[in-house]
Amino acid sequence: MLKNRIIPCLDVKNGRVVKGINFVDLKDAGDPVEQAKIYSDGGADEICFLDITASNENRDTIYDVVEKTSKKCFVPLTVGGGVRSVEDINKLLNCGADKVSINTAAVENSKVVLDSSKKFGSQCIVVAIDAKKNGDKWEVFTHGGRNNSGIDALEYAEQMEKNGAGELLVTSMDRDGTQVGYDIDLMSKISSKVNIPVIASGGVGNLDHLVDGIKLGKASAVLAASIFHYGKHSVKEAKDYLDSKGIPVRI
């Protein structure tokens, strides 16, 4: 039986972890490679890096991080943030990323998804959708949630599936950082609309939220950042909890 996945996400800036696990025994709490290794050793089903490096001159730091991580972590590694072109994707894959998530570039130029999925295969193309509720629909935001594209998130999800996305990483802008739980309505509507797996993101504050994301939100995988950082919960605790609620997980 296919298991639901738990994916810890690390925010990386200028090659350093911004929010990370606050373990005292860590030699270097800012080292993404070391943090990723802790997660993969702890049973994470995949690892996600979100590169939030703002300046262009430091953009290359992420390649070095990915290269080092992929030599130590033998679970799938997804990298997103600042991915603009097929060439960016190519570089990340060559450094050892298994999947690349595309956000703003997919909205601005749908050819990026079309071309990259053709070139590298759908299995490594994740389209990240940042959605915010407006009335009775959700709109797609770009540039880290700063710009409203006005595009309907449900229609966009369907279009991205057609363009060759292998998975959708759906983040609720309303919930991100609030720790009150995923936007279940958004997750389940998108998941029902498309035939590709949906990864739920944005708003996790406790382990029940992970359960809801899968049971009610119909997500195939759940991504979370802050509950795994600062040692609030380990991936193992999350898995045991999901297991106790009857959700199939890899233990």
Partner 1 sequence: MKVTIVDYKSGNISSVINSFKEVAKDKVTIAVTSDLNKIKSSDKIVLPGQGSFKSCVDALNKIKGLTDSLNEFAITSKKPLLGICVGLQMFADVGYEETKTKGLGWISGKVSKIDNQNGKYKLPHIGWNQINIVKDSKIFKDIENNSHMYFVHSYEFVPNDKKVISATTDYSSNIVCSVEKENIFGTQFHPEKSERIGLKIIDNFINL
Residues belonging to the active site: 11, 130
Instruction: Please list the alpha-helical segments (H only) found in the chain.
Output: 32-41, 61-70, 86-95, 104-108, 111-120, 153-163, 184-193, 207-215, 235-244
Among 146, 150, 195, 246, the residue binding partner 1 under the rule CB under 8 A is 195
Q: Is residue 85 a contact point for partner 1 (CB under 8 A)? A: no
Q: Give phi and psi for 190, each to the nearest 5.
A: -70, -45
Among 14, 30, 84, 98, the residue binding partner 1 under the rule CB under 8 A is 98
Tell me, by CB under 8 A, how many residues bind partner 1. 32
Q: Is residue 205 a contact point for partner 1 (CB under 8 A)? A: no
Q: Is residue 129 a contact point for partner 1 (CB under 8 A)? A: no
Q: Is residue 177 a contact point for partner 1 (CB under 8 A)? A: no
Q: Which bin fits 135, alpha (ψ -120 to 50), beta or left (φ > 0)?
A: left
Among 58, 94, 134, 244, the residue binding partner 1 under the rule CB under 8 A is 94
Among 104, 163, 201, 220, the residue binding partner 1 under the rule CB under 8 A is 220
Among 145, 113, 140, 114, which Cα is nearest to 129's?
A: 140
Q: Is residue 215 a contact point for partner 1 (CB under 8 A)? A: no
Among 18, 52, 75, 151, the residue binding partner 1 under the rule CB under 8 A is 75
Q: How many CA atoms lie within 13 A of 188 on its CB side?
A: 10
Contact 149, 140 (CB under 8 A): yes
Query: Where along the sequence are the contacts to partner 1 (CB under 8 A)?
Result: 1-5, 40, 45, 70-71, 74-76, 93-98, 119-124, 166-167, 195-197, 220-221, 250
